[in-house]
Amino acid sequence: MPRRSYESPVSVKALILAAGLGVRLRPHTLHRPKPLFSLAGVSLLEIWIHHLAAAGCTDVAVNGHWRQEMIAAFLKEGDWPVPVLFRPEPELLGTGGAIRNLLDFWDDAPFFVVNADAAADTDLAALARIHRARKHAATLLLCDDARANSVSLDPEGRITGFPGPENEDLPRYCFTGIQVLSPAVFPYLPPGPSSSIRAFERMIADGRPVGGTLMPARDWWMDIGAPDRYRQAALRVLAASAFSSLSSPDTPAAAPWVSGAAPGYAPRVSSIRIHPLAGDGSDRRWYRAAAPAGSVILVDHGDWGTRKESSGTGFRPETGAGAPGGETGEQRESDAFIDLARHFEAAGLPTPRLLARDRYAGMAAVTDLGDVSLQRACRELRGAASGSWEDIVSLYRDVIDAVWSFHNRGGKGFDPAWCWQTQGMDAEMIRTAECAYFVRAFVRNLAGWSGPVPEAEFDRLARRIGALSRTGIIHRDCQSRNIMICGGRPYFIDFQGARRGPFAYDLASLLIDPYAGLPPAVQTVLLDYAASRVRTAGKTRGPGEKRQGRETEEEAPGVEEFRKGYPYCALSRNLQMLGAFAFLSREKGKAGFADYIPAALNGLVERSCGLGDEFPELCRLALRLRDR
Q: Is the pLDDT of residue 313 over 70?
A: no
In which band, very low, low, confident or very high, does the pLDDT at 328 lie, cut at 50, 70 and 90? very low
Query: Is the pLDDT at 39 greater than 80, yes or no?
Result: yes
What pLDDT is recorded for position 364?
95
CB 470 within 8 A of CB 501: yes
Q: Are 194 and 188 in contact (CB under 8 A)?
A: no
Span 306-317, mean pLDDT? 47
Q: Is the peptide bond before 502 cis (omega within 30 degrees of 0)?
A: no
Q: Is residue 618 part of a domain?
A: yes
**Alpha carbon distance, N-terminus to C-terminus of the chain:** 60
Residue 577 pLDDT exceeds 90: yes
Range of lowest pLDDT (10-24, 170-184, 187-201, 412-426): 10-24
The predicted structure's pLDDT at residue 553: 39
At residue 456, the pLDDT reads 96
Q: Within 10 A of 107 (CB to CB), how many other CB atoms are there? A: 11
347-404 tens-digit pLDDT: 999 999 999 999 999 999 999 999 999 999 999 988 765 667 899 999 999 999 999 9
CA distances from 20 to 27, 36, 93, 98, 622 (A): 14, 12, 10, 11, 58
* Average pLDDT score over the chain: 85
Whether 539 shows a pLDDT value over 50: the answer reads: no
Domain count, the chain: 4
d(CA 85, CA 105): 9
CB 40 within 8 A of CB 257: yes
Q: Considering the domain boundaries, does residue 2 fall inside one? A: no
The DSSP code sequence of 5-30 is: -----S-EEEEEE-----GGGTTGGG
CA distances from 489 to 85, 449, 483, 485, 547 (A): 54, 44, 10, 5, 20
Among 192, 223, 254, the domain-final residue is: 223
Which of 300, 253, 244, 293 minimizes the C-alpha distance to 277?
300
* DSSP letters spanning 380-408: HHHHSTT--HHHHHHHHHHHHHHHHHHHH
* Interval 118-163: pLDDT, tens: 999 899 999 999 999 998 999 999 999 888 888 888 888 898 888 7
Whether the per-residue pLDDT at 444 is higher than 90: the answer is yes
**Tens of pLDDT, residues 394-411:** 999 999 999 999 999 999
Domain end (from 534, 557, 580): 557
The answer on 96 and 197 residing in a single domain is yes
Q: Quick check: 316 and 322 in contact, CB under 8 A?
A: yes
The helix (run of H) or strand (run of E) holding residue 220 is: strand 220-223
Q: Are residues 460 and 601 in the same domain?
A: yes
Q: Note whether 87 and 205 are same-domain residues.
A: yes
Residue 144 located in a structural domain: yes
In tens, the pLDDT along 55-65 reads 989 999 999 99
The reply to whether 78 falls in a domain is: yes
Model confidence over 87-113: pLDDT tens digits?
999 999 999 999 999 999 999 999 999
Give the separation between CA 588 and CA 580, rounded to whole angstroms.
10
pLDDT at 326 over 80: no
Range of the domain at 506: 370-422+474-557
In a domain, residue 482? The reply is: yes
Please check the confidence at residue 493 and state whether its pLDDT lies above 70: yes
pLDDT at residue 609 above 60?
A: yes
Whether 158 and 236 map to the same domain: the answer is no
The pLDDT-based confidence of 280 (bands split at 50, 70, 90) is low
Q: What is the DSSP string of 335-386?
A: HHHHHHHHHHHHTT-SSPPEEEEETTTTEEEEE---S-BHHHHHHHHHHSTT
Dist. CA 25–CA 44, nearest whole Å? 15
Per-residue pLDDT at 269? 85
Average pLDDT over residues 533-561: 55
**Measured torsion, CA atoms of residues 586, 589, 592, 597, in degrees rounded to the nearest 10:** -10
Task: Check residue 323 and give its pLDDT.
Answer: 38
Strands, E assignment, 385-530: 473-474, 483-486, 489-492, 499-500
- 480: domain CATH number is 1.10.510
140 and 247 inside one domain: no
Q: Are the beta carbons of 297 and 280 closer than 8 angstroms?
A: no
Q: How far is CA 75 from CA 93, 224, 358, 374, 440, in A?
A: 21, 21, 20, 49, 49
Helix or strand holding residue 120 (H, E):
strand 118-121
Question: Using CA atoms, how far apart are residues 514 and 479, in angstroms rounded to an integer?
Answer: 9
Looking at the domain assignment, is residue 5 inside a domain?
no
Q: Is the pLDDT of residue 2 over 60?
A: no
Looking at 529, 557, 585, which one is the last position of a domain? 557
- The enclosing domain of 167 has a CATH number of 3.90.550.10
In a domain, 403, yes or no: yes
Residues 307 and 434 occupy one common structural domain: no
Would you say 96 and 196 are in contact if contact means Cβ atoms under 8 Å apart? Answer: yes
Is residue 166 located within the same domain as residue 111? yes
Task: Tell me: pLDDT of 500 over 70.
Answer: yes
How large a percentage of the chain has pLDDT more than 70? 86
Q: Is residue 512 classed as helix, strand or coil in its secondary structure?
A: coil
| 3 located within any domain | no
Are 244 and 128 within one domain? no
Q: Are 493 and 390 part of one and the same domain?
A: yes
Asked whether residue 21 falls in the same domain as residue 98, the answer is: yes
pLDDT band at 612 (very low <50, low <70, confident <90, very high): confident
54: pLDDT strictly greater than 60: yes
Claim to verify: residue 460 and residue 514 sit in the same structural domain: no
The three-class DSSP label of residue 304 is coil
Question: Does residue 557 surpass a pLDDT of 60?
Answer: no
Strands of the sheet containing 363-367, edge to edge, are 273-276, 285-291, 294-300, 363-367, 354-358
Orientation angle between helical segments 374-383 and 389-409, nearest 10 degrees: 160
Tens digit of each residue's pLDDT (9 = 90 or more) over 223-250: 988 888 999 999 999 999 999 887 765 5
Instruction: Quote the pLDDT of residue 271.
Output: 86
- Same-domain status, 180 and 157: yes
